[in-house]
Amino acid sequence: METGPSNPAASVVVLAGGVGGAKLAHGFAQLDLGSRLTIIVNTADDFELYGLTICPDLDTVLYTLAGIANPVTGWGILGDTANTLAMIGRYGWPTWFWLGDRDLATHILRTERLRQGARLTEIAAELAAALGVTARILPMSDQPVRTIVETPDGPLPFQDYFVRRRQRDTVLAVHFAGIEQARPTPEVERALADASVIVLAPSNPIVSIGPILALPGLRDRLVDHPAPIVAVSPIIAGRALKGPADRMLASLGHEVSPVGVARLYQDFLDGLVIDSADADSAPAIEQLGIRPLVTDAVMHDEADRARLARETLAFADQLRKGRH
């Protein structure tokens, strides 16, 4: 059992996207926080395929916290097969989005529960409970939000850009369809209200953390929040560890560095965890009024995840004390 945060009643809220967010969330889950750990997960890359509602980020967080994630890809279920998908292909339907057979159970049951009128939040709780996950996995909203990526070839639904076209298009702009009508859920509001630490996971700032921050009222809540808010930089040595965040930041006019990340969160961020490779960014981050923590920010294994989570919590504690 790992050592928890110094305040035993601390409620840790992590804002997360997919693989990077799931890894850090798993680090916190190793700190014996139980239900005092809440992961608020991006749902703007959710989509419908074959009539099934697929929530890639929710599923990645769920599988990772349940200990059944595929450790090679970071997404999907360890040892999963794809026999349904092969048959779907035999029927002549497109198969560019890889769906494992075990993974399909999640999409089928979620879709059925949505059809029955359940909220995405309730469904996420049911799935997590069945897999023995004690942390609370909260979709950012129960209303559908869908990321649209503007490219030289026109607008693309997120998964078309991300999976089907393998992120080859230059991203000219990003918007979140449905975001004006969407609301943070009551559970998200409550988790934020109770949070003693808020952590932005090392997920894509534009399309993973971006939609959460774009929910009506949510960013203002962070700006006004009394608890320390700490981000872990998803950019290390000028590159995203995974995914197109680096190219996306560049094409949207942002600096591809922890400083660029800090600027995106500047209005509410108290501290930014950066990798030793980016130690020379520390002064520029400090100039933005944000405290940097230089450490090893790459999560190679499960122990790394717990270490980074623990360091992030200790850092937040320092920031809290520094204020008082």
Question: According to CB under 8 A, which one of 127, 138, 215, 274 is a site residue for its own copies?
Answer: 127
108 belongs to the binding site for its own copies (CB under 8 A): yes
80 belongs to the binding site for its own copies (CB under 8 A): yes
91 belongs to the binding site for its own copies (CB under 8 A): yes
Applying CB under 8 A, the site for its own copies has a residue count of 32
193 belongs to the binding site for its own copies (CB under 8 A): no
Question: According to CB under 8 A, which one of 19, 104, 200, 290 is a site residue for its own copies?
Answer: 104
Question: According to CB under 8 A, which one of 70, 73, 78, 109 is a site residue for its own copies?
Answer: 109
Residue 110, judged by CB atoms within 10 A of its CB (0-12, 13-18, 19+), counts as buried
Task: Check if the beta carbon of residue 254 is closer than 8 Å to that of residue 178.
Answer: no
Q: Which stretch binds its own copies (CB under 8 A): 80-88, 202-210, 215-223, 270-278?
A: 80-88
Cβ closest to its own copies, residue 28 vs residue 47? 47
31: helix, coil or strand? coil
Cβ count within 10 A of residue 78: 14
| Nearest-5° Cα angle at 124, 121 to 129 | 125
Question: Which among 160, 227, 161, 216 has a CA at the least distance from the CA of 185?
Answer: 216
**Nearest approach, Cβ of 51 to its own copies (angstroms)?**
4
Q: Which stretch binds its own copies (CB under 8 A): 102-110, 187-195, 243-251, 252-260?
A: 102-110
Distance from C-alpha of 99 to C-alpha of 111, rounded to nearest angstrom: 15
Question: Which among 148, 197, 210 has a CA at the least distance from the CA of 177?
Answer: 148
Question: According to CB under 8 A, which one of 106, 121, 185, 204 is a site residue for its own copies?
Answer: 106
**Nearest approach, Cβ of 108 to its own copies (angstroms)?**
5
Question: According to CB under 8 A, which one of 3, 81, 181, 266 is a site residue for its own copies?
Answer: 81
- Crossing angle between the packed helical segments 19-29 and 56-66, to the nearest 10 degrees: 30
List, in order, residues 6 or more apart from 141 with CB less than 8 Å away: 43, 120, 182, 183, 184, 185, 188, 215
Residues near its own copies (CB under 8 A) are 50-52, 77, 80-81, 83-88, 90-93, 100-106, 108-109, 111-112, 115, 126-127, 130-131
